[in-house]
Amino acid sequence: MSSTTEHNAFFIGGEYRAPAGTGRITVISPNTEEPIGSVPDGTEADIDAAVAAARQAFTDKSGWGGWSPAQRADAMERLADELDKRAADLAQAVSAQNGMPIAIAGQLEAVFPQLLLRYYAGLAREYPFEETRPGLLGGSTLVTADPVGVVGAIVPWNFPQALAAFKYAPGLAAGATFVFKPSPETVFDAYTLADAVAAAGIPDGVINIVPGGREVGAYLVSHPGVDKVAFTGSTAAGRTISEVCGRLLRPVTLELGGKSAAIILDDADLDLTRVGEQIFSATLLNNGQTCFLGTRILAPRSRYDEVVQTFAGLAGSLQVGSALEATTQIGPMVSARQRERVESYIAKGKGDGATVAAGGGRPQALDRGWFVEPTVFAGVDNNHAIAQEEIFGPVLSIISYDGDDDAVAIANASDYGLGGSVWTSDHDHGVSVARRVETGSIGINAYLPDPTAPFGGVKSSGLGRELGPEGLAAYLVKKSVYL
Residues that bind ligand NAD (CB under 6 A): 154, 156-158, 163, 181, 183, 213-214, 217-218, 221, 232-234, 237, 240-241, 255-258, 291, 390, 392, 418, 457, 462
**Which residue is closest to ligand NAD by CB?**
217
Shortest spacing between CB 474 and ligand NAD, in angstroms: 13
* Minimum CB distance to ligand NAD smaller for 67 or for 157: 157
Shortest spacing between CB 456 and ligand NAD, in angstroms: 7
Active site residue 15: no
* Minimum CB distance to ligand NAD smaller for 214 or for 348: 214
* Minimum CB distance to ligand NAD smaller for 95 or for 183: 183
Shortest spacing between CB 163 and ligand NAD, in angstroms: 6
Shortest spacing between CB 120 and ligand NAD, in angstroms: 17
Helix, strand, coil shares, percent, the chain, to 5: 40, 20, 40
* Minimum CB distance to ligand NAD smaller for 308 or for 418: 418
Which residue, among 249, 322, 325, 315, has the nearest Cα to 284 in the 3D structure? 315
Shortest spacing between CB 468 and ligand NAD, in angstroms: 14
Cβ atoms of 253 and 423 closer than 8 Å: no
Cβ atoms of 59 and 79 closer than 8 Å: no
Question: Strands of 177-181's sheet, edge to edge?
Answer: 15-17, 10-12, 207-209, 177-181, 150-154, 228-232, 252-255, 462-463
Shortest spacing between CB 289 and ligand NAD, in angstroms: 7
* DSSP-based three-state secondary structure for 37: strand
Q: How far apart (Å, rounded) are the C-alpha atoms in residues 393 and 373?
A: 10
The strand pairing partners of 300, in sequence order, are 401
* Minimum CB distance to ligand NAD smaller for 194 or for 268: 194
* Minimum CB distance to ligand NAD smaller for 98 or for 328: 98
* Alpha-carbon dihedral 412, 414, 416, 417, rounded to 10 degrees: -10
Non-local CB neighbours of 95 within 8 Å, separated by 6+ positions: 101, 102, 105, 323, 324, 331
Main-chain phi, psi angles of 205, to 5 degrees: 85, -5
Q: Which of 255, 343, 390, 466 is catalytic?
A: 255
- Pairing mode, if any, of strands 207-209 and 261-264? unpaired
Other CB atoms within 10 A of residue 300 CB: 21
Non-local CB neighbours of 283 within 8 Å, separated by 6+ positions: 262, 293, 294, 295, 297, 311, 396
Known catalytic residues are 255
